[in-house]
Structure 1
Amino acid sequence: MRHILQGFTMYVDGVDFGIDTEEVELPIPTPMTQEYRGGGQDLGATLPMAAIEALEITVKMAGHNVEVMKKMALAPGQTTRITFRGAVMREQDGGIAAHVCIVEGAINGGTRDRWQRGEKSGIEFVVNGVKYFRYEADTDVIHELQVWPPKRIVNGVNQLSEVNAALGYAS
């Protein structure tokens, strides 16, 4: 069944900027891979490694909101918490499911639209240096990733629990 996005908003450090937010490109966590060819193996196999590729979010805003621009290019280590909330209609019953994505990272440069008198212009920026990522659909945690302490929960399963236990980290 299809799940159709009906609307969304964006909160930056708890302040709603949804009215200015036109587009958001959220990542899907992707395992890093490495090609393997054993001795004499003709066909290479791409194998997932024990890591996830760096995440990056792209946001397109209408207008030149200075409160968002003040969060750009902060000193290293300083992050901003951004929450994206979407209302997704379930086609099978017409109900609405809340989809929530929480990201902690650095808002960094992108582009500004060209200024033209009487024309709409805005900014586009990326959120990189992501230290925390959580995606929920209704009440299900689909992905929860954290840099430190290491965490990778996919569909409710902590995939790093045994690794963290072996290294002496609490789950």
Structure 2
Amino acid sequence: MTHILRKFNAHVDGYSTHLEIEKITPPLVRDQVEAIKAGGLLGELDVPLGVQKLEAGLMVNSRNKLLMGKAGLTPGKSTRVTFRGVSVSEIDGSQQDEVLIIQGRLNVDSNDWQAQSKTDTDYKIGSITYYKHLIDGQLVYEIDLLNMIGVVDGVDQWADIRGGLGL
């Protein structure tokens, strides 16, 4: 089914940005690879060793003091951002709900101030330690870097390795 994103929102530590949010950039889940050139291989091969650093972002159309106050926190402190989106099928009108939960550190990137125009503010979410993505309540991704959990399509890809390490 074709589902087209209709509306979305971001909650930053519980604060709803539904009147300000303009853009969301979800994390990209990509392999962290290293190339090997073993003597018995015909050519170079990338070997996956985990996941690449996760990064996300959001853009709001305001100068929100509460959001700005989430950037530049002391070490060990982070912010929880929950993205919610609703997609509707053009074929049958069915609705699909998505939820992304991210734990990381907010960094603010203020854009230019211009007279008689709105001022967008970009926030990058870096140092992400936790990412969870659900579609209609079904788990697509759950990545918990600190606890070596890597669920993809409902299957924990790292369970055996964690067990071997006694974690």
How big is each residue's C-alpha offset from its partner over 1:126-160, in whole Å with a ceiling of 9 and x where there is no partner? 00111110000002100000022221111110111
Q: Tell me, which stretches of 5 or more residues in structure 2 are unaligned?
A: none
TM superposition score normalised by structure 2: 0.94
Q: Residue 165 of structure 1 aligns to a residue in which SS? A: helix
Runs of 4+ in 1 over 6 A off after TM superposition: none
Q: Residue 22 of structure 2 aligns to a residue in which SS? A: strand
> What is the identity, as a one-letter code, of the residue corresponding to 1:119?
S
Tell me whether 1:13 sits opposite 2:13 in the alignment.
yes
CA positional deviation for 1:108? 1.3
CA positional deviation for 1:119? 1.0
CA positional deviation for 1:43? 2.6
Q: Residue 72 of structure 1 aligns to a residue in which SS? A: coil
| Alignment partner of 1:116 out of 114, 118, 134 | 114
How big is each residue's C-alpha offset from its partner over 1:113-134, in whole Å with a ceiling of 9 and x where there is no partner? 2112221112111001111100
In 2, distance between residues paired with 1:70 and 1:96?
35
In 2, distance between residues paired with 1:42 and 1:166?
32
Q: Tell me, which stretches of 5 or more residues in structure 1 are unaligned?
A: none
Q: How big is the alpha-carbon RMSD for the aligned residues of Structure 1 and Structure 2? A: 1.4
TM superposition score normalised by structure 1: 0.92
- In structure 2, what is the equivalent of residue 76 of structure 1? 75
Tell me whether 1:154 sits opposite 2:146 in the alignment.
no
Aligned residue-pair number: 167
Aligned-residue sequence identity (percent) comes to 28
CA positional deviation for 1:42? 5.0
**Equivalent residues of 2:28, 2:55 under 8 A apart:** no
